[in-house]
Amino acid sequence: MDLDLAGKRALVAAASRGLGKAIALRLAEEGASLAICARDAERLEKAAEEIRQRTGAEVLAVPTDLTDYEQIKRLVRRAEEHFGGVDILVANAGGPPPGPFLELSDEQWQAAFQLTLMSAVRLAREVLPGMIARRWGRLIFSTSVSVKQPIESLILSNSLRLAVIGLAKSLANELAKYNITVNSVCPGPTATDRMKGLITAQAERQGISYEEAERAWLSDIPMGRLGRPEELAALVAFLASERAGYLTGTAIQVDGGSVRFPL
Ligand SMILES: NC(=O)c1ccc[n+]([C@@H]2O[C@H](COP(=O)([O-])OP(=O)(O)OC[C@H]3O[C@@H](n4cnc5c(N)ncnc54)[C@H](OP(=O)(O)O)[C@@H]3O)[C@@H](O)[C@H]2O)c1
């Protein structure tokens, strides 16, 4: 299927590795130009160069801490100045830490609020005026399967990501008249550095080996394996395309069947 992304300009947040990088690579393969960000400038530039080499796409790398509004404004300004606009926003960010409810402090809740909800709010706020003026846009919020079924020990994710879903659903209603679609993607356990960190943390908490902790995660997944980042990226590329023009207000999981509810 031709996704017609040639000439489109995408901003993919938190894209130096893991899910964000896979999404950036896939959009570039489909012909989009890219602005990408993350905090570690060296690793970010390495990812940008790899995507340029593999796809020939134009990739602008802007080191950014997504918990800092001034840096988000600068990121969007740099992307808009460089490409003349942003057509596709993929609002992704690092994940909040695991931990039992009674051990999480107010400061950890505040930090997770900034990282998970406010980065999504601020990225959308900064790119939307241009999309509205051009009467075309794609907002894609990358959340987690935790919005459909809470994940043990990830209470910050289970709680704050639902606010992102509320934001996305509200924006979908508000923005449809401008030909802007708004969707959320909800990855299940996917093989990235973050997933390795979560399995390691669980192994330490329960005094079991990494392999045992990994088996426990896999036992909850009907497909019996972790997802591959490119499997989420394929959905994002479709949602970003002209082909998905009537698809808005959804939250779609890519989780190997982990969510046991019918919707
Ligand atoms: N992998 C999974 O199984 C899974 C499942 C559900 C949801 N998720 C969620 O999806 C998101 C991405 O996960 P992942 O597995 O791809 O994680 P990852 O492999 O750890 O990659 C995280 C990316 O985010 C960047 N980042 C982290 N904090 C940032 C900040 N404050 N500002 C800017 N960039 C930041 C990192 O670069 P720097 O460190 O250099 O900033 C890196 O590029 C997370 O929110 C995660 O919780 C993941």
Res. 135: pLDDT tops 90: yes
Residue at 154 is within a domain: yes
* pLDDT band (50, 70, 90) for residue 153: confident
Residue at 2 is within a domain: no
3-state secondary structure of 29: helix
Q: Does residue 190 have its Cβ closer than 6 Å to ligand 1?
A: yes
| 17 DSSP assignment | S
Q: 102 CA distance to ligand 1 centroid (A)? A: 24
Res. 143: pLDDT tops 90: yes
Residue at 129 is within a domain: yes
Domain limits for position 18: 9-254
Which pLDDT belongs to residue 1?
Answer: 83
- Which of 34, 39, 68, 118 to mutate for ligand 1's pocket (most ligand atoms within 8 Å of CB)? 39
CATH code of the domain in which 169 resides:
3.40.50.720
Residue at 159 is within a domain: yes
Which pLDDT belongs to residue 262?
Answer: 77
Q: Does residue 115 have its Cβ closer than 6 Å to ligand 1?
A: yes
Q: Where are the beta strands (DSSP E) in 14-135?
A: 33-36, 59-61, 88-91
Res. 4: pLDDT tops 90: no
What average pLDDT does the segment 44-73 reach? 98
Res. 196: pLDDT tops 80: yes
Residue at 261 is within a domain: no
Rounded Cα distance, 223 and 105, in Å: 36
pLDDT in tens, 199-258: 998 899 899 999 999 999 999 999 999 999 999 999 999 999 999 999 999 999 999 999
* pLDDT band (50, 70, 90) for residue 155: very high
Residue at 263 is within a domain: no
Residue at 4 is within a domain: no
Rounded Cα distance, 167 and 198, in Å: 27
Res. 7: pLDDT tops 90: yes
Rounded Cα distance, 153 and 170, in Å: 28
Rounded Cα distance, 216 and 222, in Å: 12
Residue at 3 is within a domain: no
Res. 263: pLDDT tops 80: no
Mean pLDDT of the chain: 96
Q: Which residues contact 152 (CB under 8 A, 6 or more apart)?
A: none
What average pLDDT does the segment 186-204 reach? 93
Q: How many domains does the chain have?
A: 1
